[in-house]
């Protein structure tokens, strides 16, 4: 089985921002470079140390912990010199200019990746031009989708039971049974992440079932929520969009709508469940996501000896993907391998929290 992210330097991500930097504006733009740290964790630390609210620091996308990453952030309410003087572990901040608007989720053109794939033996490495746009494993973690489902189903006690957080635990000691109040101790960004994870599971399942019916099956790869179905004719679906379900999602394609409704029935969900009156900020509408995306500037290096895995080979692969698409999914398609059904033996399918 191939390996990625054995070293943070094995997985390099560079965000290509949309932020239009100007000589004036109240928002300070910084290029944030980090290694081995999660975006949200760093944002929380910056807010705490600069005495700001987390929402005063904007970013376009959450970048993985097990990587070296570059991304643009915006900060309001702090002095430039105070930010530049901060010493943050495994993080650097380079001032880029000013702007009149904050950096918000989705404010990027694309992400560029440079990935070292290790532990190669006889696997075939293929060129791909279009990629099934699945959400990757890092979207889900161990419990993210399960927590999201419990919140959507208004099963707040069960949701809290899956979250190990000091703020929540401390709140419940003083407010027994107030599980909604406990959830509100967490940043809204984090709570939305849970909802998004469950929406992503439903999207993945819809896409996989549709492509399994309509595509020319190339391989199926198991992950903690089911299977990713890869097809050899992914280009044929470049204009197809699949809904991310919410309280007001729409789908023009009758067959996709039928598959989504089937999954919703299996999950015992209705669109109205996505209206969360207890925490209105978590009420999310549906939207459309491309079924496949182009893989740009794909470069595959020569195989070399893998110093971390004696007797094996490694290869460096670089490419660019549109915002919101996962490099780990691209690697799954580029590298041919056989995966055991026990690949995730310690992870229960996260949709079975009843």
What would the pLDDT profile of 69-78 be if each residue is shown by its tens digit?
999 999 999 9
pLDDT at position 342: 39
59 within 8 A of 75, measured Cβ to Cβ = no
Coil/strand/helix, residue 211: helix
Mean pLDDT value across residues 148-169: 95
| 354 pLDDT tier (thresholds 50, 70, 90) | very low
Structure tokens given for 283: 């009420």
pLDDT at residue 162 is higher than 80? yes
Q: In angstroms, rounded to a whole number, what is the distance separating the alpha carbons of residues 243 and 21?
A: 33
Give the count of beta carbons closer than 10 Å to the beta carbon of residue 272: 8
pLDDT at residue 329 is higher than 90? yes
Give the count of beta carbons closer than 10 Å to the beta carbon of residue 126: 12
Q: In angstroms, rounded to a whole number, what is the distance separating the alpha carbons of residues 307 and 204?
A: 35
pLDDT at position 67: 93
Dihedral, 189, 194, 200, 205 alpha carbons, nearest 10 = 180
The average confidence (pLDDT) of the chain is: 91
Strands (E), 121-225: 130-132, 217-223
Give the count of beta carbons closer than 10 Å to the beta carbon of residue 160: 25
pLDDT at residue 82 is higher than 60? yes
Q: In angstroms, rounded to a whole number, what is the distance separating the alpha carbons of residues 165 and 169?
A: 6
pLDDT at residue 345 is higher than 60? no
Does the CA dihedral 262-265-266-272 come out positive or negative? positive
Contacts of 173 (CB under 8 A, 6+ apart): none
Structure tokens given for 236: 């044929």
Mean pLDDT value across residues 110-120: 96
pLDDT at position 20: 65
289 within 8 A of 242, measured Cβ to Cβ = yes
Q: In angstroms, rounded to a whole number, what is the distance separating the alpha carbons of residues 120 and 337?
A: 10
As to burial, measured by CB atoms within 10 angstroms (0-12 exposed, 13-18 middle, 19+ buried), residue 216 is: exposed
What pTM was estimated for this model as a whole? 0.87
218 within 8 A of 168, measured Cβ to Cβ = no
350 within 8 A of 146, measured Cβ to Cβ = yes
Structure tokens given for 3: 């390996």
Mean pLDDT value across residues 312-320: 97
pLDDT at residue 1 is higher than 90? no
Tens digits of per-residue pLDDT, 226-259? 999 999 999 999 999 999 999 988 888 899 999 9
pLDDT at residue 349 is higher than 60? no
- 110 DSSP β-pair partners: 16, 322
Structure tokens given for 61: 């996308």
Coil/strand/helix, residue 75: strand
Mean pLDDT value across residues 273-300: 95
Mean pLDDT value across residues 47-58: 95
Angle between helices 188-214 and 144-152 (to 10 degrees): 100
pLDDT at position 141: 81
pLDDT at residue 174 is higher than 70? yes
Strands (E), the chain: 11-17, 27-35, 57-59, 68-75, 91-99, 108-120, 130-132, 217-223, 226-231, 241-244, 287-290, 292-294, 296-300, 304-305, 313-322
Q: What share of the chain has pLDDT > 70, as a percent?
A: 94
- The two counts, helices (H) then strands (E), for the chain are 9, 15
| 64 pLDDT tier (thresholds 50, 70, 90) | confident
pLDDT at position 269: 93
Q: What share of the chain has pLDDT > 90, as a percent?
A: 79
| 344 pLDDT tier (thresholds 50, 70, 90) | very low
| 189 pLDDT tier (thresholds 50, 70, 90) | confident
* Phi/psi at 173 (5° precision): -65, -30
Does the CA dihedral 64-68-74-75 come out positive or negative? positive
């Amino acid at each position: 089985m191939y390996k990625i992210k054995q070293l943070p330097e094995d997985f390099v991500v560079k965000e290509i921002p949309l932020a239009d930097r100007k000589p004036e504006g109240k928002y300070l733009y910084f290029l944030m470079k980090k290694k081995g740290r999660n975006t949200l964790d760093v944002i929380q630390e910056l807010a705490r140390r600069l005495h700001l609210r987390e929402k005063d620091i904007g970013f376009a996308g959450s970048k993985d912990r097990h990587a070296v990453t570059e991304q643009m952030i915006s900060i309001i309410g702090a002095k430039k010199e105070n930010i530049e003087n901060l010493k943050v572990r495994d993080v650097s901040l380079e001032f880029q200019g000013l702007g009149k608007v904050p950096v918000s989720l989705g404010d990027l053109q694309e992400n560029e990746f440079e990935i070292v794939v290790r532990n190669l033996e006889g696997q075939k490495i293929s060129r791909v031009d279009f990629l099934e746009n699945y959400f990757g494993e890092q979207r889900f973690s161990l419990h993210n989708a399960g927590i999201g489902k419990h919140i959507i189903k208004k099963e707040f006690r069960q949701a809290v039971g899956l979250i190990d957080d000091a703020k929540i635990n401390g709140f419940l000691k003083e407010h027994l049974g107030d599980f909604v109040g406990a959830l509100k101790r967490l940043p809204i960004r984090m709570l939305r992440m849970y909802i998004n994870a469950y929406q992503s599971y439903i999207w993945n399942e819809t896409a996989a079932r549709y492509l399994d019916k309509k595509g020319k099956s190339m391989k199926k790869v198991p992950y903690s929520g089911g299977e990713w179905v890869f097809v050899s004719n992914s280009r044929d679906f470049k204009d197809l969009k699949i809904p991310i379900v919410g309280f007001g999602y729409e789908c023009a394609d009758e067959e996709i709508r039928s598959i989504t409704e089937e999954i919703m029935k299996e999950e015992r969900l209705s669109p109205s469940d996505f209206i969360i009156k207890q925490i209105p900020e978590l009420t999310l509408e549906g939207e459309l996501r491309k079924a496949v995306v182009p893989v740009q500037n794909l470069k595959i290096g020569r195989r070399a000896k893998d110093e971390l895995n004696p007797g094996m080979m490694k290869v460096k692969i670089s490419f660019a993907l549109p915002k919101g698409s996962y490099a780990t999914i691209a690697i799954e398609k580029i590298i041919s391998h056989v995966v055991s059904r026990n690949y995730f033996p310690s992870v229960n399918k996260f949709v079975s929290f009843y």
